[in-house]
Every structure is written in structure tokens, then in C-alpha cells.
Amino acid sequence: MKRKILFLILILLVIGLSFCSIVYLKFSRSDEKIISDIRELKSYQCDVRYVIKNSRGEIKEETNQLYSDNKGNRVDFGEDRIQVYNNEGKVKVWDKILNKGYETTTQDYSFYSISFINNLSKYLNDGSTMEMEYDKEINKRYLKVNVVLDNNNPNLDRAVLYVDIYERVPEKLLVFNKKGELVVEAFYNNFIRDAKVDETLFDLGE
């Protein structure tokens, strides 16, 4: 009788360990693999909420963003304007209120372009440090990536990217100036990897 009980316990242990192994393999991702998946994105769609901080206070903006490796980035600011960042470093702006467009350079909107995942990915290299962080309030684990922004802009010196390790998508970006002050927060929602993007949406006024 004892042998049967021991045998049954052994079987249950084997089943339990096998189940745990399957769950672990399904949900665990190496840090390098998570970052590699982000760097290899060919397109994406998401909502991004910005909190921009300066000496006068905070500016909050809600945007919808599209990215295509063929066309660049498109940022829709609701009823206000649309900005398209092409692969040549130009920014086309369509003012919805005035119903007209103009062109400028990415330097005028650098704090937006820093938050684009396709742009940020070029800084995700061997110089980046990564660690796991657990948020007790929402019972969630993140991959926290510290990034040096080599862009000769003291106002955008370094960033911290938080990545959902299960969905393998960015969730939050914090940008700091040379003094270590937080200047930009970007919160990513409804992130769709490799989204089907209508590339005609990037052709403003054409």
C-alpha cells in the first residue's frame, strides 16, 4: 500500500514539474531575445500618452502612432495636427485647424522622435544595462532598460524603457536631461506588433 502511495506521489511530482517547465518555457524570455524582437519590428501601431515637463509645468498629449519601415512614423494629435517623420529626417506637419501643411526637421520635435520605438532601438546595444523590475501595485514584472541617448542634446541625455516581458512590447519610457531631471514620460497602450499599416496615410497633402 505504501509503495502504491509513493508511486502515485512520484507520478504527481513528475506531472507537476512537467507542467511548470511548459509554463516557464512559454512565458520566459531572455533579455536579449526581448530586445532583439523590438529591434526587428518592421511596423507597429499604438496609442502614446505624453507628459512633457518644463519649468512652467506639464504638457499632456494623447496621440495615435503608426510606423512603417518604408515610410517612417506618423503621429496623430487628434483634432489638432498630424506629423509625419520620414526616413530622410524631415517632418511634414498637417495643421487640421488651419487646414494647411508645412515641412520642418526632426530637431524641432526631437522629444517625440526619441520615443519612437524604431528610433529608440538603435540605442539598445551593448552599452544598455538591463534588469528585471517588479511593480507590487499592479503585480507585474518588467524588463527595465537603461539607455544612453547619444544625440548631443543635453535636454535628452538618457532614457529608461520599461518592457512588458510577457507581451514583449514597450509600456513606458522615461527621458532625463543631463542634470538627471525627468523631462518626458511616454506611456504606450494598445501596442500592435507588425501591424498592417496603410502607407498612404503617410502622404500628407499629396
| pLDDT band, very low/low/confident/very high, at 30 (cuts 50, 70, 90) | confident
- Residue 164, domain extent: 2-195
- The pLDDT of residue 21: 45
Nearest to 159 by CA among 148, 170, 171: 148
Residue 201 lies in a domain: no
pLDDT band of 107, cuts 50, 70, 90: low
Q: How far apart are CA 179 and CA 157, in angstroms?
A: 9
Q: Is the residue at 169 inside a domain?
A: yes
Indicate whether 72 belongs to any domain: yes
User: Are 147 and 161 spatial neighbours (Cβ–Cβ below 8 Å)?
Assistant: yes
Q: How far apart are CA 46 and CA 140, in angstroms?
A: 20
Whether 203 maps to a domain, the answer reads no
Provide the number of structural domains found in the chain.
1
pTM over 0.85: no
CATH number for the domain that contains residue 151: 2.50.20.10
Q: What is the pLDDT of residue 1?
A: 58
What pLDDT does residue 183 have?
95
Give me the amino acid identity at 185: E
Length of the chain: 206
Contact residues for 20 (Cβ-Cβ < 8 A; gap 6+): none
Pairwise CA distance, residues 199 & 190, whole Å: 20
Whether residue 202 lies inside any domain: the answer is: no
